[in-house]
Amino acid sequence: MTNTENRPCLFCNTISQMREVEETLHFSCLCTGGKGWYTIDRDCYDDYDARRYPGHLISGYIREMYENGHQVHIDSENIEQILRSPLIPNHVRDKIEKLLVYLYRNTEVIGEPVILKESDFNLTYSPKATELITLIYYLRDQGFIEEEVHSELGSTDMEIIMTPAGLEQGHELLNRQKKSNQCFIAMSFDPGLLQTFKDHIFPRIRETGFEPITVDIVHHNDNIVDRIIYEIKNSRFVIADFTHQKHGVYYEAGFAKGLGLEVIWTVREDDIGNCHFDTRQMNHIVWRTVEELGERLRDRILATIPGARLT
Ligand SMILES: [Zn+2]
């Protein structure tokens, strides 16, 4: 059953159009800059405790993931994890960098403006517009953007032009960011296995400072293979789980290796005998339970991936 009504979003507090499909609520609100959707389980929506979760951080996370092409789904299991995501800024420096990267990515022609609204303050994970505006003034004082102007009198649209110095800085930051905290998970799309990974493996990966990405959470219209390649290229390392022996996982692991990325090989114990002869001698983490795999993966990442740190 599908029904559409106006409901407040829990995270950006705007009344927005909500579509309900089989206990999943789809919101299109300021969290995605009014451009796309995120989804949330109905029970998570109904039981949400605003005093417990800082909604603006979740809104910032949904926005950043959306801008990177990922559609976020929220349920009562992952909401805590989201707040521990390495994407969430710890310091004002992180917020400034996020804003610069956004402006850089959205500048199509040098010298032409990017339009920002005051309501875009989730781009910097800010609780209100004042913070975004203060950061814009800071970028102007640093020479990264030209004086912003309101498009029309009374409008909340700001036209922001990046200076060449700002574009250079944005470019550098984007390259650093891309390589900094994404970990691609190549695995079978079996719904049961995928869900167990999300519940038990993803939190362990986040503890090491990396954000796990699988193509199933990537919202895309592109050819899926192009999208996988794009995500692998933007990852620091890859975890390849060979349980169920999917050809795609062999392809993705090989592609990542070819790019010089670290690949962590894993397989469930009952499937190691089925692994392809050429890769069977790789040092797999052979696991029995996902809890055990989660711990061993966390330890392996901390030991072998430069920049990994317990968060
Ligand atoms: Zn929202």
Q: Is the pLDDT of residue 97 over 80?
A: yes
DSSP 182-245: EEEEE----HHHHHHIIIIIHHHHHTTT-EEE-GGGB---S-HHHHHHHHHHT-SEEEEE-TT-
Average pLDDT, the chain: 89
Q: Which residues keep their CB under 5 angstroms from ion ligand 1?
A: 9, 11-12, 29, 31
Task: Looking at the structure, tell me whether residues 295 and 188 fall in a common domain.
Answer: yes
Burial of 130 (0-12, 13-18, 19+ CB in 10 A): exposed
Considering the domain boundaries, does residue 293 fall inside one? yes
- Digit-coded pLDDT (tens) for 245-289: 999 999 999 999 888 889 999 999 998 888 877 777 778 899 999
The answer to whether residue 311 sits within a structural domain is: no
- How far, in Å, from the CA of 50 to the mean position of ligand 1? 13
CA of 32 to the centre of ligand 1 (A): 7
Q: Identify whether residues 28 and 78 lie together within a single domain.
A: yes
- Average pLDDT over every residue of 163-175: 92
pLDDT of residue 154: 66
Position 150 scores a pLDDT of 66
| pLDDT band of 208, cuts 50, 70, 90 | very high
71 alpha carbon – ligand 1 mean position (Å): 13
- Choosing from 50, 83, 116, the residue where a domain stops is 83
Give me ligand 1 centre to Cα 63, in Å. Answer: 9
Q: What is the mean pLDDT of residues 217-234?
A: 74
| pLDDT in the model for residue 192 | 92
- Predicted confidence band at 170 (pLDDT cuts at 50, 70, 90)? very high
Q: Is the pLDDT of residue 179 over 70?
A: no
Q: 277 C-alpha vs ligand 1 centroid, how far in Å?
A: 49
Give the per-residue pLDDT at 178: 64
In a domain, 310, yes or no: no
Give me ligand 1 centre to Cα 9, in Å.
Answer: 5
Domain containing 123 — which CATH number?
A: 1.10.10.10
Instruction: Check whether 42 has a pLDDT greater than 70.
Output: yes
**Does the pLDDT of residue 218 top 60, yes or no?**
no
pLDDT band at 244 (very low <50, low <70, confident <90, very high): very high
Ligand 1 centroid to residue 311 C-alpha, Å: 27
Q: How far is the CA of 183 from the centre of ligand 1 (A)?
A: 26
pLDDT attached to residue 164: 96
**pLDDT value at 2 more than 90:** no
User: Is residue 50 predicted with pLDDT exceeding 60?
Assistant: yes
Say whether both 149 and 251 belong to one domain. Answer: no
Pair 185, 271 in one domain:
yes
CA-wise closest residue to 37 among 219, 198, 195, 216: 219
Q: What total of structural domains would you count in the chain?
A: 3
Residue 130 lies in a domain: yes
For residues 82-93, average pLDDT: 87
Give the helix/strand (H/E) hosting 56: helix 55-67
| pLDDT bucket at 220, cuts 50 / 70 / 90 | low
pTM of the predicted protein model: 0.73
Concatenated DSSP letters for 245-271?
A: --HHHHHHHHHHHHTT-EEEEEEEGGG
Ligand 1 centroid to Cα of residue 122, in Å, is 10
Q: Tell how far the Cα of 275 is from the centroid of ligand 1, in angstroms.
A: 44
Handedness of CA 310, 58, 33, 91 (dihedral sign): negative
Domain's final residue, options 83, 117, 145: 83
Measure 301 CA to ligand 1 centroid, in angstroms: 34
Percentage of residues of the chain with pLDDT beyond 70: 93
CATH code, domain with 232: 3.40.50.450
In a domain, 24, yes or no: yes
Residue 173 burial by Cβ neighbours in a 10 Å radius (0-12, 13-18, 19+): middle
Q: Which of 123, 143, 177 is the last residue of a domain?
A: 177
* Helix, strand or coil, per DSSP, at residue 6: strand
309 occurs within a structural domain: no
Q: Are residues 195 and 261 in the same domain?
A: yes
User: Do 100 and 149 fall within a single domain?
Assistant: yes
Contact yes or no for 209/181 (Cβ under 8 A): yes
Distance from the alpha carbon of residue 156 to the mean position of ligand 1, in angstroms? 18
- Distance (angstroms) between ligand 1 centre and the Cα of 43 equals 17
Per residue in 11-20, pLDDT tens?
A: 999 998 899 9
pLDDT, position 310 = 83
The tokens of 83 are what? 């707040």
pLDDT class of 241 with cuts at 50, 70, 90: very high
Ligand 1 centroid, distance to 10 Cα (angstroms): 6
Residues 98 and 55 both lie in one domain: no
Q: 8 C-alpha vs ligand 1 centroid, how far in Å?
A: 8
Banded pLDDT at 70 (limits 50, 70, 90): confident
pLDDT at 30: 95
- What is the 205 CA–ligand 1 centroid distance (Å)? 26
In a domain, 203, yes or no: yes
Distance 107 CA to ligand 1 centre (A): 25
Mean pLDDT of 141-155: 77
Range of the domain at 142: 92-177
The pair of structure tokens assigned to 93 is 């420096």
pLDDT in tens, 189-200: 888 999 999 999
In this predicted structure, what is the pLDDT of residue 308?
Answer: 84
